[in-house]
Every structure is written in C-alpha cells, then in structure tokens.
Copies of this chain bind each other. A is one copy, B any other.
Amino acid sequence: MIIKADKYRERVSKLRPRLFIGGKRVEKLMDHPITRAVIEAGVKTCELSNDPRYEDIMTAKSHLSGEKISRAVYIPASTEDMEKRLEMSRLFSRELGTCNPRCAEAALFPVLFATTWEMDKKKGTDYHQRFVKYLKYIQENDLMVNAAITDVRGDRSKRPLEQQDPDSYLHIVERKSDGIVVRGARQNQTIAYACDEILVVPGIVFRPGEEDYAVSFVVPNGTEGMTFISQYNAWSAEREYAEDIRYLGNPYGQRETCLIIFDNVFIPWERVFLCGETEYLPALLSRFAKNSRFNGAGACKAGFMDLIIGATKTISEYHGLSNKPRIIDEITRMIEIRDTCWACGIAAAHKGKEEPVGSGVWFSDEILSNITKLNAGRFWEVLELAGDIAGGIIATMPHERELENPEVKEYVAKYLKTSVPAYKRMRMIKFLQTWVCGFHGVEAWHGGGPRQAEMISLYRLTDLEGVKEVAKKLAGLQD
C-alpha cells in the first residue's frame, strides 16, 4: 500500500507519544508548531509517493506480497534499486529541505533483513521469520518507522560495563518468557515522535560479555515507559512563537531531534530481531554504515545542496551580481562539491552487491560509501560559499513581519527592495539563513558518523599491500 496524504495525516494525529519540547508536554502533535511542521513534512512525502511523475522512483513491487509499496520499505535487490533509492532520497531532500520520516526504515530494513537471514541460516534462530512477518505488516500499512541507534555513552573512553551508570548504553534488564525488558536512552533521533514505530538497533559493536547490550527490536510509538525529550533551540523558539509560517524560511522545520528514554519497556519476543548475538554486530554495523553513508550522505546532502545552490543563485540575481566572475566561480565550486558527492553515491550504488550471497539484499560498496560521506562533509564549504555570495544581509536582515508593521513597513519596503520587491528578497534570504546560520552544517558533518569514523573505515578497508607491491616493482625492489 502507498498511504495517501490525508490518511497519513489522520493516522499521525492519533499518535500519543509522551513528548516534551522546551520544558513543556505536547499532547497533540497537530497542536504544536514544531511537531506540526514535522507532520507536514510527512504529508509531503505521501504526496510525492503518490505523484505519478515519481512513481518509478518512489514505489516498487514487494518481493513478499507482489504489491506496489513505498520504496522506503522495499528491500533493494539490484544496483538499479540502489540508484533509485538515491534518487528518492535526493527528491525528498530537495522538496523538503529537512529530514523525512522514511529515511531510517529505508536505511535499516535491508540491514535487518540480511542479518537476520544470516543468523537464522547459521544459528537456526527464527529472527528472520519474525522480521519478514513484521516487514509484511509494515508494507501492507505503509508505516513509518524511525530508528534509535546512538547511545548517550557517558564517558567515551570506557566500555558499557565500565560506566558508572550501566544505563549509559541501552540494554536488557530482564528476560521473560514472553519478551524482554529494556532500559536506557537513545539520542539524536529526528522525527521519532511522529513515526508509527521505533526500531532499536545497536550503535556500536558490543563484545562478548556485553550480550545484554546487543539487542535489536521494534516498539510502537506510545508504548508504556517511553518518553521523548525534543531538542529546543533558537529556531524552535522562533517557530513556537511565529504568527505566520512564511516567516520561517522553511515550512517543514529545522530537524529538531529528540532523546528517547526507555524506562523498563517491555518488548514481546516477536518484535525482537537480535538478542545477544554480538558476533553479528560487525556485519550489521558495516551494512548500516554503507546504507547511511552512500545514501544519507550522497543523495540527501546533494538534495540539500540543490536548495542552497538554487537559493544562492537566486539571491545573486536579486542583488544584480550574478554575472560577476567571482560569483560564477563560487557557484561553480558549490556545484563541484555537490556533484562530487552525488557521483560518489552513484559509484557506491553501482559497485554494490548482494550481501550475504543468497539473501537477495543488495548493499553499496563499503569503501565508496565512506568516500561519499567524506565528500558530503564538504557541505560546510558550500555553506561558507553561500554566505559569501549572499552578503552580510544574511546575518543582519530585519524580520519580514516589519512589512506588516504600519509604522515602518514603508521604510522596509523602500530600503530592502532590490531588483525585486523587499518581501521576495527577504524570504529568499531567510530561507538561506536557515542553512548558512543554522544547525545544518554540524548535522551534515556528524549525521551518519563523524569524519573520523569514515577515515578509520577507509584505512582499514584499503588494500595497502597491493599498492606497496606495484610501487616496489617500479622502484626496482621486487622481492
């Protein structure tokens, strides 16, 4: 099924997470400007998924049911599928300018599909069967599933069991006949409170002896014991008190994440997909890294850069500067970064392969996925170039509501117009301000793992012996 926008809005308005934003409880998601923006982003994804122009990108045929489903919950079975996923992500990013609620499931369902398949095959467990059943349910209802991955980690130089507080990493506190009880927290989750379900997967490789931490499961939004504590920053305050959504630069919000508390939450066995099998974590995390780095970096950030480049070019035209050699040079450098990032994503998809062989699931190439993410880290340069071109006004502009203020509106209209009326310039500047002066730089840098994580992977994965050998041969040092 592909859910329609109105059906989605109806369904999501019934969710009742225990949610706090800026110190206050939010009862109904449609009643708060921040959560409403997140839902409208979800609505937009439904519209795009039902748009016939994008059918090929946004939908696929389930190999479980044979029905048309959202590509976000589809298990990719070819490099062609991987490339379409890139196109889906880029379309979401450039149409929303913020996170979309389909991101996490698209990244993680293939990982769990492959890893549970492997476990069942080698260990005779029934995880895969459970997961496939669950996946059918998701596909049939086109549910949106968020993922909770990153532990709070306490003292980062210590392992989980060495921490002062054992809950610094989420773990099983009790194993019962009908399920498990878990405690801990997961952080940095965008959109989680507005999704139908939350999927938990381990965020690091837990080792033998740390089996209680090696756990993956799924839990419906609103389950007893779960609390969402949303980020609340300056942009949140601005949105909370804004009288008009047009004043905010982006109607779909600014990617507020949340901290999710699991306070003795009960999970029935049929919703548990990994429970203590530490030996499968290296493969699971490598698969997740591939998916989040080739796609979340290559495609998602390319989509954001589309917006930034488009806004910057527009402003340069509004300011009468678009033909200056320096401006053209700087915009071309922005394009260079975007297209490098995109090219690396394409290559990572194209060089992907089935993993494990026989599972039917395809993943991108690991080295090239890391390369993609490393190039996406140049996002910050794009912001810097945008800031340079837009000029000081991007940091100093009066508020658009002054155009409604009878005492000064004529002044503002008179002095902020350029070749276009003041309101056009002000909106485009505001839109670009959300990027250049906002939280996106850091988010692009750290989302999917910081640069250092990719560097470590890259060094480890590279065939250095091979290149040493060819160098020695030419240097006359054949052994």
CB-contact partner of A404 in B23, B332, B390, under 8 A: B23
CB-contact partner of A94 in B185, B442, B470, B472, under 8 A: B470
A-B contacts, 29 of them at CB < 8 A, read: A20-B402, A20-B405, A20-B407, A23-B405, A24-B405, A95-B473, A150-B392, A155-B419, A158-B320, A165-B414, A165-B417, A227-B407, A232-B401, A233-B437, A237-B242, A238-B238, A249-B475, A263-B411, A310-B464, A336-B374, A340-B340, A340-B371, A383-B441, A392-B443, A392-B447, A392-B450, A428-B472, A430-B475, A437-B439
Stretch at the interface among A108-116, A172-180, A321-329: A321-329
Stretch at the interface among A214-222, A353-361, A451-459: A451-459
- Alpha-carbon distance between A20 and B25 when the two chains are bound, in angstroms: 33
Residues of B within 8 A of A458 (CB): 332, 335-336, 339
Min Cβ gap A251→B in Å is 7
The 5 closest A-B pairs by CB, nearest first: A310-B467, A310-B471, A392-B446, A431-B475, A343-B347
Stretch at the interface among A49-57, A284-292, A311-319: A311-319
Assuming the contacts A152-B415, A343-B347, asked whether A450 and B391 have C-beta atoms less than 8 A apart, the reply is: yes
Min Cβ gap A403→B in Å is 9
Are B233 and A238 in contact (CB-based, < 8 A)? yes
Min Cβ gap A453→B in Å is 11
- Alpha-carbon distance between A155 and B447 when the two chains are bound, in angstroms: 40
Are A468 and B155 in contact (CB-based, < 8 A)? no
Are B339 and A368 in contact (CB-based, < 8 A)? yes
Assuming the contacts A405-B20, A458-B335, asked whether A464 and B309 have C-beta atoms less than 8 A apart, the reply is: yes
- Alpha-carbon distance between A241 and B232 when the two chains are bound, in angstroms: 12
Residues of B within 8 A of A325 (CB): 325-326
Interface residue A205 (Cβ < 8 Å from any Cβ of B): no
Are A310 and B380 in contact (CB-based, < 8 A)? no
Residues of B within 8 A of A437 (CB): 233, 438-439, 441-442
- Alpha-carbon distance between A156 and B231 when the two chains are bound, in angstroms: 40
- Alpha-carbon distance between A397 and B347 when the two chains are bound, in angstroms: 35
Main secondary structure of the interface of A (DSSP, over half): helix
Interface residue A350 (Cβ < 8 Å from any Cβ of B): yes
Residues of B within 8 A of A372 (CB): 343
CB-contact partner of A229 in B346, B367, B412, B477, under 8 A: B412
Are B344 and A415 in contact (CB-based, < 8 A)? no
Residues of B within 8 A of A408 (CB): 20, 227, 229, 261
Among A230, A383, A401, A439, the most chain B Cβ lie within 10 Å of the Cβ of: A439
Known pairs A232-B398, A314-B468, A339-B458 / 19 extra A-B pairs, C-beta < 8 Å: A23-B404, A94-B467, A156-B321, A185-B411, A185-B415, A229-B398, A232-B399, A249-B475, A306-B467, A309-B464, A329-B329, A336-B371, A340-B375, A346-B351, A388-B450, A390-B442, A395-B442, A427-B476, A431-B475
Residues of B within 8 A of A25 (CB): 407
Min Cβ gap A338→B in Å is 9
- Closest-by-CB residue of B relative to A319 is B156
Residues of B within 8 A of A347 (CB): 342-344, 346-347, 350
Interface residue A208 (Cβ < 8 Å from any Cβ of B): no
Are B306 and A470 in contact (CB-based, < 8 A)? yes
Residues of B within 8 A of A452 (CB): 326
Interface residue A65 (Cβ < 8 Å from any Cβ of B): no
CB-contact partner of A230 in B329, B398, B467, B469, under 8 A: B398
Interface residue A77 (Cβ < 8 Å from any Cβ of B): no
CB-contact partner of A350 in B313, B350, B474, under 8 A: B350
- Alpha-carbon distance between A399 and B412 when the two chains are bound, in angstroms: 34
Min Cβ gap A228→B in Å is 10
- Closest-by-CB residue of B relative to A167 is B414
- Alpha-carbon distance between A99 and B23 when the two chains are bound, in angstroms: 31
Min Cβ gap A329→B in Å is 7
Residues of B within 8 A of A165 (CB): 414, 417
Residues of B within 8 A of A307 (CB): 467, 470-471, 474
